[in-house]
Amino acid sequence: MPRTTPQPPPRPSWENGWAPDTSRTPGTRRLWLAGTLALATVVACVTAITAGHGGSDRAAAPQPTGAALDHGPGLLSFASPATTGPAGPGKDESGPPTASTHPSGSPAASASAAAPGTTAPRTSPSATRPATSAPPDSGPGGGATPRSPLHRSVRSVNYPDRYWHVSGGYVRLDAPAGPESRGDSTFTVVDGLADGSCYSFRTADGRYLRHRDFVLRADRGDGSSLFRRDATFCARPSAYPGAVALESVNYPGRFLRHQNFQLKLVSYQNSDLYRADSAFRLTAPLA
């Protein structure tokens, strides 16, 4: 008969060294779950109430009538451009004349295109120049693109008794004296050598007026691109009625002006003296 060894009875838990955790309140996890559920319920109720009020407000808002839809402003509305008249010689301006010539390419057309009472030409909101009107004798062809060479003399605005005059190869402002002086103050106005919408001035002996070292002189053409650009000037509106400012093609922002009666290419200056010195009228030929 096999021999069995009786098993000892299980020992109580406190005899094994285990004791319940008394540091945590019983039911803490259930309390957290209950609190979270209550908070979610409150948030859902508040959201539903808010949505209900918003829908009722939108439903009660008056709808625009047909007239308002037809005549009211759109999502984006723009103010109509302001119009300004021509500025006088003494009016202070903030930028150089920047309006391009009329497609016909004549100084008269560019001046008449910006007639008094219309918006002045702009390149930016801060670069506005006054408009001018063209006199009968300003510009070759009276506003039409020259189909054949036209003879003109160029008179100063602030020295109306003086004209462009070739003397010693340079261009000065001089008063006409005798027939030879009048001939040297008469030029053939042709389409610009570098830009057909602008102008070049040719003397009676076939030379062209061009700037070199920023001084205007009469030189023989050498066929180079540099010469063609140096001899091309674009007519821009002037602050003086019937006058134009002549801007260099290859030095934008530089205009012909007289200093000590010498014609030079000078950067624009915001002064009345500069605007007067750089304003010229193309008149009937002296010779």
268 domain-assigned: yes
60 domain-assigned: no
Q: Which residues contact 209 (CB under 8 A, 6 or more apart)?
A: 164, 166, 171, 187, 200, 201, 202, 203, 216, 217, 218, 231
Question: pTM higher than 0.85 for the full model?
Answer: no
Calpha distance 228→212 (Å, rounded): 12
CATH number at residue 270: 2.80.10.50
Report the C-alpha dihedral over residues 242, 276, 282, 161, rounded to 10 degrees.
110
Q: What is the pLDDT of residue 156?
A: 97
Containing structural domain, residue 201: 107-283
CB 89 within 8 A of CB 130: no
Q: Which residues contact 84 (CB under 8 A, 6 or more apart)?
A: 119, 120, 128, 130, 131
Domain count, the chain: 1
Q: Which residues of 200-224 are buried (b: 16+ CB within 10 A; e: fewer)?
A: bbbbeeebbbbbeeeebbbbeeeee
24 domain-assigned: no
84 domain-assigned: no
Please give the structure tokens belonging to residue 67: 């007239």
77 domain-assigned: no
10 domain-assigned: no
* Per-residue pLDDT of the chain in tens (287 residues, 90 and over written 9): 556 666 666 655 545 555 555 565 556 677 777 888 888 888 887 787 777 665 544 444 444 444 333 333 333 323 333 333 334 333 444 466 654 443 334 443 333 333 333 333 333 333 333 333 333 344 443 333 444 679 999 999 999 999 999 999 999 999 999 899 999 999 999 999 999 999 999 999 999 999 999 999 999 999 999 999 999 999 999 999 999 999 999 999 999 999 999 999 999 999 999 999 999 999 999 98
Q: What is the pLDDT of residue 32?
A: 76
85 domain-assigned: no
126 domain-assigned: yes
* CA distances, 100 to each of 36, 80, 91, 120, 226 (Å): 74, 23, 21, 12, 22
